[in-house]
């Protein structure tokens, strides 16, 4: 419940100081927890857009959206934290002017946002969002432009998530896995997605040379998964050379690289797996 002194000017000043105090305390708590900056900072729309890959955009008109669904900004990620509390006093007068207007019932124009999945990013109206949240408002009117992305807009809460998404998008654009393969081919180290793409393309080049026939990208992805990845992962499981907590794709890459280092060959058989196994599993 937001208190009122009867003076909109005094109340607006108190609103700002309360928002700044909460932001400072939150920042201090994050530092004591050794949280990274991207845990407390507003999420960058440009970074999300680049990581997921924009395919199209569509203006949806003016809608009422939840303030809790607004997670980031197009160009002011350093001016407000994740909960849109001001990180400095630079624009204090503008903030307090909007707070006074809100408290006296003036009409506040809609904000402008981009929508990616269930997330919203502010294009214009950062101070309006900040004031509304400070006053305990749940909903806000917004002009919404929806962005359709190449990757599904889920799991994008931190910059590390975005880096992984970015590399995965690049891999899937080179190697368009579908269905079960798309879900199964996954790693935790972002650059490994680049290694996967190169591995699949090299396999396809050898296969096309041997068969004397061209295969398109979709065929390449499907055949590599069915003819190379799945059989090898099954062999790895049977040979017991998959490390504890190691993803199947990570095990495949590790064993494939070790195999080639040992014998300079791309063939798979029990002897190869035994030789790789003798070099030791991934440390548990």
CB 83 within 8 A of CB 13: no
pLDDT of residue 283: 43
Contact present, 99 and 135 (Cβ < 8 Å) = yes
| Range 71-85 burial, b when 16+ CB lie within 10 A, else e | bbbbebbebbbbbbb
pLDDT tens per residue, range 250-259: 999 988 877 7
Alpha carbon distance 119, 228 (integer Å)? 38
What is the structure's pLDDT at 280?
53
The string of pLDDT tens digits covering residues 40-84 is 577 889 999 999 999 999 999 999 999 999 988 998 888 888 788
pLDDT given at position 20: 86
* Domain-wise residue ranges, the chain: 8-149, 175-278
CB-based contact 49:135 (threshold 8 Å): no
Q: According to the model, what pLDDT value does residue 263 have? A: 53
Residue in the block written with tokens 């937001």: 2
The per-residue pLDDT for range 203-249, each reduced to its tens digit, is 999 999 999 999 999 999 999 999 999 999 998 888 887 888 899 99
Tell whether domain 8-149 is in CATH 3.90.1530.10.
Answer: yes
CA 197, CA 258: separation in Å to the nearest integer? 18
Rg of the Cα atoms in the chain: 26
Mean pLDDT of the region 151-162:
80
Residue 266 reports pLDDT greater than 60: no
How far apart are the C-alpha atoms of 284 and 278, rounded to whole Å?
Answer: 16
Q: What is the pLDDT of residues 107-152, one digit of tens each?
A: 899 999 999 999 999 999 999 999 999 998 899 999 999 999 999 8
């Amino acid at each position: 419940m937001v208190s009122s002194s009867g003076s909109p000017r005094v109340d607006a000043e108190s609103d700002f100081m309360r928002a700044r105090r909460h932001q400072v305390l939150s920042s201090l708590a994050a530092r004591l927890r050794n949280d990274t900056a991207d845990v407390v900072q507003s999420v960058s729309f440009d970074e999300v857009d680049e990581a997921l890959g924009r395919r199209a955009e569509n203006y949806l008109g003016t809608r009422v959206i939840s303030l809790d669904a607004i997670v980031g900004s197009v160009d002011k990620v350093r001016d407000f934290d994740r909960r849109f509390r001001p990180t400095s006093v630079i624009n204090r007068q503008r903030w307090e002017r909007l707070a006074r207007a809100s408290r006296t019932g003036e009409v506040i124009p809609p904000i402008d946002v981009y929508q990616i999945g269930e997330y919203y990013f502010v294009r214009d109206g950062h101070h309006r969002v900040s004031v509304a949240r400070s006053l305990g408002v749940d909903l806000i009117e917004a002009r919404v432009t929806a962005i359709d992305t190449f990757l599904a807009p889920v799991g994008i809460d931190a910059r590390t998530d975005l880096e992984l998404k970015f590399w995965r998008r690049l891999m899937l654009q080179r190697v368009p896995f579908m269905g079960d393969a798309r879900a199964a081919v996954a790693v935790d180290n972002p650059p490994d997605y680049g290694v996967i793409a190169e591995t699949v393309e090299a396999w396809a080049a050898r296969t096309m040379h041997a068969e004397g026939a061209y295969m398109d990208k979709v065929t390449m992805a499907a055949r590599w998964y069915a003819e190379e990845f799945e059989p090898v992962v099954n062999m790895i499981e049977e040979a017991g050379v998959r490390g504890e907590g190691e993803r199947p794709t990570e095990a495949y890459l590790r064993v494939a690289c070790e195999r080639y280092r040992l014998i300079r060959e791309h063939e798979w058989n029990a002897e190869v797996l035994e030789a790789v196994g003798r070099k030791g599993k991934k440390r548990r």
